[in-house]
Amino acid sequence: MGILHEILGVISNSGFFIRHLAHSEMSSNEVINVFVVLDLARSSPKISLEELVERLKGVDGVLEVSPCGKYGKTVYTLKLFPLRVAGRRAIGLCYPTMCALTQGLEETLGKTAASLVAVHVGTAIGRAWYRLSQGVFSFSSVSDTIEFLRAQMAAIGWGLVEDYKVFGNKIAITIRDPWELEVSQSSEDPVVLRNVIKGFYSELLGRDTEVETVSSERVGGHWFVTVVVRRSG
């Protein structure tokens, strides 16, 4: 996208360090909103912020340049609402929300009931992932399903599929840093994510599948979890 490249060029050539960048969906007939966060502590500005704004306004195609919202030390934009992943509405789970979905449920319901809720929620999510992706993605091979799960999990920050192996009617999937283990204080089993995988393959195959966590270890600051999918039936 030429205009985005030009905007970034103006900012970097003016000596400002870009800490974060996000933009709305690109369409040939719609206005695109670009959100840029500058790190002034790591910048070596050649011009003032006011001058930078004027230069950005001079970029061909730029309609408006305005400051973002700020609350305390947090900066944000309203122009990128709502969030979208693959063209569909999405939401973000911040750290307190992730804690509430793990520790909070255990404190409120007890460990056994919270685990049961996590199983049902994960399974329902996995089934929905498959149903809403039919006709959009091809699932003709195991590698197709793994690539879908890798893309989906990475896009929403749930975990990173590092590797997989197929042996007989089983698939061993290794996932780095599943979100549940980042906040859980009592478990090394990502119950929600494991059951997302269960729900996905159960819906795909039209029969119930079994998914279990066979290993979970922390190496060099990262969690590595391997789950095994048993395509029973």
Report the pLDDT value the prediction gives residue 143, as an integer from 0 to 100: 95
Q: Is 76 helix (H, G, I), strand (E, B) or coil?
A: strand
Burial class (CB in 10 A: 0-12, 13-18, 19+), 118: buried
* Contact between residue 101 and residue 178 where contact means Cβ atoms under 8 Å apart: no
Cα-Cα end-to-end distance for the chain: 49
Question: Using an 8 Å Cβ cutoff, are 166 and 174 in contact?
Answer: no
Cα dihedral angle (146, 119, 183, 69), rounded to 10 degrees?
Answer: 80
Cα–Cα distance measured from residue 101 to residue 140, given in angstroms and rounded to the nearest whole number = 34
- Determine the Cα–Cα distance for residues 223 and 209; give it in Å rounded to an integer: 25
Distance CA 54, CA 180 (A): 45
Q: CB–CB of 187/180 below 8 Å?
A: yes
Query: Residue 205: what pLDDT?
Result: 94
For the record, the structure tokens of 138 come out as 């091809």
Q: What's the confidence (pLDDT) of residue 184?
A: 80
Helices (H), 184-225: 191-205
Q: Which domains does the chain have, with CATH numbers?
A: 2-81 (no CATH), 95-230 (3.90.1520.10)
Burial class for 117, CB neighbours closer than 10 Å (0-12, 13-18, 19+): middle
Contact between residue 93 and residue 101 where contact means Cβ atoms under 8 Å apart: yes
How far, CA to CA in Å, does 149 sit from each of 19, 106, 133, 158, 231?
29, 27, 11, 10, 16
pLDDT tens digit at each of 233 positions of the chain: 688 899 999 999 999 999 999 888 766 567 889 999 999 999 999 999 999 999 999 999 999 999 898 888 888 999 888 888 777 888 888 889 888 888 888 899 998 999 999 999 999 999 999 999 988 888 999 999 999 999 999 988 999 999 999 999 999 999 999 999 988 866 789 999 999 999 999 999 999 999 999 999 999 999 999 999 998 65
Contact between 193 and 137 (Cβ < 8 Å) = no
What is the CA angle 126-127-131, rounded to 5?
120
Any residues with CB less than 8 A from the CB of 62 and at least 6 apart, and which? 3, 7, 56
